[in-house]
Amino acid sequence: MIKIAVLGAGVNGLTCALKVKEKYPNFDVTLFSDKFTPDTTGDGSGGLWYPYLCGNTSQEQLMKWGGETYVFLHDLWYQGGNHISVMPMYELYRKKRETQRPLWADLVFGFRELDMRQLDYLSRMHSINYAAGRTFTTFVIQAPKLMEYLYMRYNRLKGKVVNAKLASLSDPILHNFQVVINCTGLSARDIVPDSRVFPIRGQIARVKAPWLNYTIIDEDSGHYIIPNDAICVLGGTHQENDYRTEIDDSNTEFILDGCRQMIPGLEHAELMKHWAGLRPGRDAVRLEAEERDGKIYIHNYGHGGSGLTLFWGCGNNVLQLLEKHLSSIKPTTTNSKL
């Protein structure tokens, strides 16, 4: 029996557990975490497909992982009933600049640089003078609903889930597992340990604004407005090395005032909730395998603000690394209570 432990029950950990169990239904797959949906960082996020705060992760990797996730989300949206919205997104700048066309631009629908006519229109509509920008069609997810869907597939295969807080990759609970897939996000800083991991604090507000049907990001002010099929997310902050998860009143004022300047009608939107969470920052996403103490470890963490942009493609890559190392894994003959 091949025993595989997946650490971390955010969207990346759950996706990896699901992919392994679907590919190898006879493998013993266990998902370990002390936090599950709806209490993960991804659950509280804006749920936008958009490569964001990925450090120096290569354009080639963003194109591969992000492109495969984009296709997956398109398929789910096309099926219907999965609480995924498709909409235009506008990435806008107040100062004139030359923006480099990302490699992933060829994989999304309708990517183009905005011309002066379009910028003038957006400037008048939002009462802000925009000098540069681009647009494409993206997907916005209700993250808890996506997690429910992924759990439904995982549970149907009788994948295991254990509520446990691990102190390190050498935790005794992992003794009988030949493979450990490490999707611990910010906790990788201590569990691996990896000092290159750091928190990027994000604070948002959720409001009811059912009349909005596009996403807008003001790259110079830091504000963004992301509607989905239930609520609208207003943001935001990206404060590096800030571990606070309580609501900061000054951040609340910054978010609400800035977003209401962009769309004055938000003044009348019903405020549902404020939320703050810690994105798992790193200078680049770590996705690689290593052999240590007779086990195979596959690391998949450091996604910054792009967990819901890269998760499906990263899961595919994890599966490829597992397949590559299967020949060196000796099946266990011991029985475990897990």
- Paired with 197 in beta bridges are none
- Residues within the annotated binding site for FAD? 184, 304-309
SS3 of residue 152 by DSSP: helix
- Residues within the annotated binding site? 184, 224, 279, 304-309
> Closest Cα to residue 309, out of 61, 90, 83?
61
Q: How far apart are CA 302 and CA 41, in angstroms?
A: 13
Q: Using N-to-C axis directions, what is the helix angle for 11-23 and 307-325, rounded to 10°?
A: 40
pLDDT of residue 298: 98
Which residue type, as a one-letter code, is found at position 59?
Q
Neighbouring C-beta atoms of residue 54, cutoff 10 Å: 24
> Closest Cα to residue 106, out of 63, 52, 60?
63
Q: How far apart are CA 97 and CA 94, in angstroms?
A: 9
pLDDT of residue 329: 85
Q: Which two tokens stand for residue 328?
A: 């060196």
Which residue type, as a one-letter code, is found at position 49?
W
- Paired with 86 in beta bridges are 139
pLDDT of residue 328: 86
φ, ψ of residue 20 to 5 degrees: the values are -65, -45
List the chain pLDDT tens, one digit each, 338 residues. Answer: 999 999 999 999 999 999 999 999 999 999 999 999 999 999 999 999 999 989 999 999 999 999 999 999 999 999 999 999 999 999 999 999 888 899 999 999 999 999 999 999 999 999 999 999 999 999 999 999 999 999 999 999 999 999 999 999 999 999 999 999 999 999 999 999 999 999 999 999 999 999 999 999 999 999 999 999 999 999 999 999 999 999 999 999 999 999 999 999 999 999 999 999 999 999 999 999 999 888 999 999 999 999 999 999 999 999 999 999 998 887 776 554 45
Q: What is the pTM of this model?
A: 0.95
Instruction: List strand residue ranges (DSSP E) for 8-66, in order.
Output: 28-33
Question: H helices of 201-331, where?
Answer: 249-262, 307-325
- Residues within the annotated binding site for D-dopa? 224, 279, 305
pLDDT of residue 336: 47
Q: Using N-to-C axis directions, what is the helix angle for 307-325 and 59-79, rounded to 10°?
A: 110
Tell me the CA distances in angstroms from 224 to 31, 228, 262, 270, one per residue in order: 33, 13, 9, 17
Q: Which residue has the tokens 């493609």?
A: 313
pLDDT of residue 333: 63
